[in-house]
Structure 1
Amino acid sequence: MKPGARIAAVIELYDGWTHTRDDADRVVSGYFGSRRYIGGGDRREISERFYNLIRHQARLGWWLAEMGYEFQDGRARMIADLVLHDRLSKADIEDRFTGEQFCPETLHPNEKHLINKLADKTLDHDAQPGAVKTELPKWLYAELMKLHHENLSAEMAAYNQPAKLDLRVNRLRGSVEDAIKSLKADGIKDIERTPFAPNGLRLPLGLNMLVTAAYKDGLIEIQDEASQICVNLVDAKPGMTILDMCAGGGGKTLGIAADMRGKGRILACDTHGGRLDNARKRARRAGAGDCIQQRIIADERDSWLRNKSGFFDRVLLDVPCSGLGTLRRNPALRWRIGQRDLRTLMAQQSKILKAGAAKVTKGGRLIYATCSIMPEENERLIETFMRDRKDFRPVPVSEIWPDAPKSVPVPGGKDKPWLRLSPNVHGTDGFFVAVFERTAKGKVK
């Protein structure tokens, strides 16, 4: 594709996303699904530019408003981004806006005027409000300022960078060294070990793992290091009986199965059958199918699951959450999640936590996890649980895993036993994990 055609595709994608406010990944998938003639290299550049427009959403909007530009559609934002981020000259932009087939129409006089006014500017400006500088809605900026204070700019700068590609080596199929050797045989270079997760590898973006022998043979799974760290804190042992109550696509289930060396029983539950279907396929490829049982449940009050009270050595609750810890991969989330959504999620999380606690046997552990950065979904919910359930004690992360990463410090979080991860401090997605041990049978509330 010509450079101008790729620019036109980005504009079309952005306008489609703003019109529907659908999940950005679904918009991209749908767009390319109906245009299979677009090659892999073009897809990568179009996708990267589209997500950059979302990552630069607030700052581009601020600049266009400063320039008196009221109509902020994808075309206006693309032009502004080409100047402010790509540092292209007016001539370079005119070379892309030619009006030729598949390319954007030629620049209007007011667009040329906009380019001239922005020519010596950059995306960032001292006059931008804090919410604009950090690319956050005002309500979310106010909440995260309470958490990070002067560190918020650094935290959000990390969230506004694309994540690298993390892999977990499946020890049921081989060692980390085996995986590295296999990937190199497929021509993949620049392979790093993850700093915390012992079975993790980190690769550059843009690689297609699905065609590698390591993936096809079940030797690797795509999984962010934060999720791998969460699996380590489950501390699964061979022979245990474990409940993954919100299993989703089964990534953590597979990690648990590897830690158990395939010996024991894992019950992977979810309310969506499609997710579990995918989990079954992954389990077969990973060689973990014999120890994993998938089951669809209606909700946390499912009658079949209720009969399993006090049954499990470990209960993992990777609960539905805002997902704001995945902003590196899903930058549009910040513009889709609102305070009302957060309240709805908190109510659901509280119910799941209560139901999950009832399934833990005496001496067993409950692991609560989110890929959220919001205290309402993490610390505050956990503190309420601790007040209500005296039959559980918090287990310090260092007690489970002495070499675990140190938690991101938060106000009032000194000496707290749970773990908070962030891309700025750890190079992972934002993630929260709290572990509790059941000290007595207690009365299920």
Structure 2
Amino acid sequence: MTPPARTQAAIELLDAIIAAAREGGAAADTLIQRYFATRRYAGSKDRRAVRELVYAAIRAAGERPGGGRAAMLLLADRDAGIAATFDGEGHGPPPIHPDEPKAKAGVVPIWLGKRLTASGIGRAEQEALVARAPLDLRVNTLLASPAEVAAETGGELIPGLPAGVRLPTGTDVSALAGRAEIQDAGSQVVTLAARARRGQNVIDLCAGAGGKSLALAAVMDNDGAIIATDTDRGRLSHLLPRAERAGASIIATRLLDPGHELSTLTDVRGRADTVLIDAPCSGSGTWRRNPEARWRLTPDRIERLVATQARLIGIGAALVRPGGALVFIVCSLLDEEGRGQVAAFLADRPDWAADPLDLPAGRAHGDGWRLDPAHDGTDGFFVARLLAPC
């Protein structure tokens, strides 16, 4: 592909990504994979170059652009080399007209920026939310040691994390299946709030594909019981094969009926030593990996997420034994999803108490703990550990 053809491919992909963000369609990574699956003529260098153009445009535009060309024109304003590819020759895009609309430069949509600022995330911290993310692994200590994996991959141990390794960007980790999982350092940090131990009964209420369940099984030395639950059959179905590869035999799964979750968990109600809730959220802490996600959010969507989170905390509280712990996690930096949720829960249940945290990264925030990319080099998270009355 010529440079102009790469620019045109990026424009076409951005059109699809912008439409998906507006209409709730597939993620950018998925759309990029589908695009090149039907264009076998594009070599690896072409695919990499187009992908870099696409993500550079996504990161540069805070507000959702009107179209892919407008997004690429924003980059062309900053880079004469990109501007030169708008030559109208062959498969390249038509020349630029001086009065053409361009995407608006920024970090996040204005309304979201105001909410982040109100949550204590200033301009510099907001800019870090859309920077490039590192490649972190959680080593499965049931099968390998972090030092071994670091030596094998050329990675570095992550200070303060018992199983964390940071790798050079682009490292092929396929050979590590079972021995290590891609998991951001921040996700590993907040999982430590569970303080899981051998012999415990743990419920991972929103397990998804099970990254945190696998981490807990390793910390527990595969001794105890973990029930991993979710309402998404597709995501949950990936967990048991992953657990088998990892040698994590203490994990069982249960598919829950949305809106009727407790009906499938009556036999373990009030019996869990720890319930971990990695709740659905805005994902504002993970925009480094999915920057187009900030174009998908609306005030109404956040309101619905906040309501879902509050309902899940109530379900989790019903499953905790007297004196047990409820660990609430969101990969969000918006206070209404984190600090505010916990404050509301404790106001409604004064017999519960927040258990102070002191984790390897982050800092205290309200009744919990917060990490963010600018200060910690991790994805953004809020976590709180809440103790049930005895």
Tell me the TM-score normalized by structure 1. Answer: 0.81
Matched, 1:6 2:6: yes
Question: Which of the numbers 319, 322, 330 marks the counterpart of 1:370?
Answer: 330
Is the Cα contact below 8 Å between 1:268 and 1:295 reproduced in 2?
A: yes
The 5 A counterparts of 1:39-438 are: 39-58=43-62, 73-84=67-78, 87-88=79-80, 93-94=83-84, 97=87, 99-100=89-90, 103-107=91-95, 110=97, 134-148=106-120, 152-183=122-153, 189=154, 191-210=155-174, 213=175, 215-216=176-177, 218-288=178-248, 290-299=249-258, 301-302=260-261, 303-398=263-358, 404-407=360-363, 413=365, 416-438=366-388
Alpha-carbon distance in structure 1 between the residues aligned to 2:64 and 2:216: 43
Shift of 1:30: 2.4
Larger gyration radius, structure 1 or structure 2: 1
The number of equivalent residue pairs is: 385
RMSD of aligned residue pairs (Cα, Å): 2.4
Shift of 1:232: 1.2
Alpha-carbon distance in structure 2 between the residues aligned to 1:392 and 1:200: 32
Change (3 A) 1:389 1:336: same
Q: Note the residue ranges of structure 2 that are not aligned, 5 or more in a row.
A: none
Classify the secondary structure of the residue corresponding to 1:397.
coil
The amino acid of 1:153's aligned partner reads R
The amino acid of 1:436's aligned partner reads L
Change (3 A) 1:98 1:3: same
Alpha-carbon distance in structure 2 between the residues aligned to 1:406 and 1:77: 34
Per-residue CA distance 1:298-350 (angstroms, 9 max, x = gap)? 13633121332111111000011111111111111111111100111111111
Alpha-carbon distance in structure 1 between the residues aligned to 2:335 and 2:285: 12
Question: Which of the numbers 29, 32, 36 marks the counterpart of 1:28?
Answer: 32
Alpha-carbon distance in structure 1 between the residues aligned to 2:343 and 2:308: 16
Shift of 1:143: 1.3
The amino acid of 2:87's aligned partner reads F
Is the Cα contact below 8 Å between 1:270 and 1:297 reproduced in 2?
A: yes
Alpha-carbon distance in structure 2 between the residues aligned to 1:230 and 1:36: 42
Classify the secondary structure of the residue corresponding to 1:314.
strand
Is the Cα contact below 8 Å between 2:328 and 2:384 reproduced in 1?
A: yes
Change (3 A) 1:282 1:39: farther
Higher relative contact order (CA 8 A, sep 6+): 2
The amino acid of 1:56's aligned partner reads A
Is the Cα contact below 8 Å between 1:134 and 1:156 reproduced in 2?
A: no
Classify the secondary structure of the residue corresponding to 1:221.
strand
Shift of 1:105: 4.1
Alpha-carbon distance in structure 2 between the residues aligned to 1:225 and 1:88: 37
The residue number in structure 2 matching 1:18 is 18
Change (3 A) 1:369 1:105: closer
The residue number in structure 2 matching 1:65 is none
Classify the secondary structure of the residue corresponding to 2:273.
strand
Using the aligned pairs only, state the percent identity. 36
Q: Note the residue ranges of structure 1 that are not aligned, 5 or more in a row.
A: 62-71, 124-131, 184-188, 441-445
Shift of 1:181: 2.7
